[in-house]
Amino acid sequence: MKFFVKIRWAASILLVFFIVLVTNVIDRKNFEKLNYSVNSLYEDRLVAHDLLFDISRILQEKQLSVVVSDSSVVESLNRKYNTELNYLMGRFGQTKLTKKEQYAFDQLQDNLKRLRQTEQSGSAMSTAEVMQVLDQMDRHLYDLSKIQLEEAKRQVFISNKAKETINLFTQWEIIFLIVMAVLIQIIILYKPKEVETS
């Protein structure tokens, strides 16, 4: 009989170990989802939104300089603005972009190239044409800003789902561990009647 008692003990311990291992793996995956979602909210959404704001501010300053200033002032300001735009656009391009974001960002870059080529060639682009390109760029920035909001909502939804799953599994783990403790006690304390042999 002692052999069967040892087998019951070993089976009980292995069962508890297996259950704890499985729930740990599931919890780890959910924590990774939660961690990714929180990091993505900061790195790919809040930082990107701040970059879009800075790009928008520079484009507004460009518009103002085109309307108010003479050509020599515009040239010196354009060098300054273009340097800042290059930096900000590069940083924005390093964030994780969705397909919609990539499309809007590509359109923004195309308009920026068109504007720079005109500035570098020295061709006299009319104020109306410059303003039209800057307005198109502003629309692309608006689109990108809206995408940031949509993606942030999506990441919050993912993190909330991961938290709910973690909470659910934590509750099930507690219930399961209580049931396992009772079963182990029953297995350990249960003594079958010995059959008398004549």
Of the pLDDT bands very low, low, confident and very high (cuts 50, 70, 90), residue 188 is low
Domain of residue 184, CATH code:
1.20.1330
What is the pLDDT, as a whole number, of residue 72? 66
User: Which pLDDT tens digit goes with each residue over 17-31?
Assistant: 787 777 777 777 777
Kindly state whether residue 198 falls inside one of the protein's structural domains: no
Kindly state whether residue 6 falls inside one of the protein's structural domains: yes
What is the pLDDT, as a whole number, of residue 69? 66
Q: Is the dihedral of CA 79, 81, 83, 89 positive or negative?
A: negative
What contacts 95, CB < 8 A, 6 or more positions away?
43, 44, 47, 48, 51
Query: Where is average pLDDT lowest: 1-15, 37-51, 57-71, 106-120?
Result: 1-15
> pTM here?
0.67
Q: What is the mean pLDDT of the chain?
A: 79
pLDDT beyond 60 at 1? no
Between 120 and 107, the higher pLDDT residue: 107
Between 128 and 175, the higher pLDDT residue: 175
Contact between residue 176 and residue 55 where contact means Cβ atoms under 8 Å apart: no
Over residues 5-12, mean pLDDT: 73
What is the pLDDT, as a whole number, of residue 190? 67
Kindly state whether residue 197 falls inside one of the protein's structural domains: no
| C-alpha to C-alpha distance for 174 and 179, rounded to whole angstroms | 9
Contact between residue 78 and residue 62 where contact means Cβ atoms under 8 Å apart: yes
Q: How many domains does one find in the chain?
A: 1
Over residues 94-116, mean pLDDT: 89
Kindly state whether residue 196 falls inside one of the protein's structural domains: no
Of the pLDDT bands very low, low, confident and very high (cuts 50, 70, 90), residue 181 is confident
Among 13-27, 66-80, 131-145, 165-179, the range with the most confident prediction by mean pLDDT is 131-145
pLDDT beyond 60 at 108? yes
| C-alpha to C-alpha distance for 62 and 141, rounded to whole angstroms | 15
Kindly state whether residue 195 falls inside one of the protein's structural domains: no
Q: Which domain holds residue 52?
A: 2-189
Kindly state whether residue 27 falls inside one of the protein's structural domains: yes
Kindly state whether residue 194 falls inside one of the protein's structural domains: no
What contacts 181, CB < 8 A, 6 or more positions away?
none
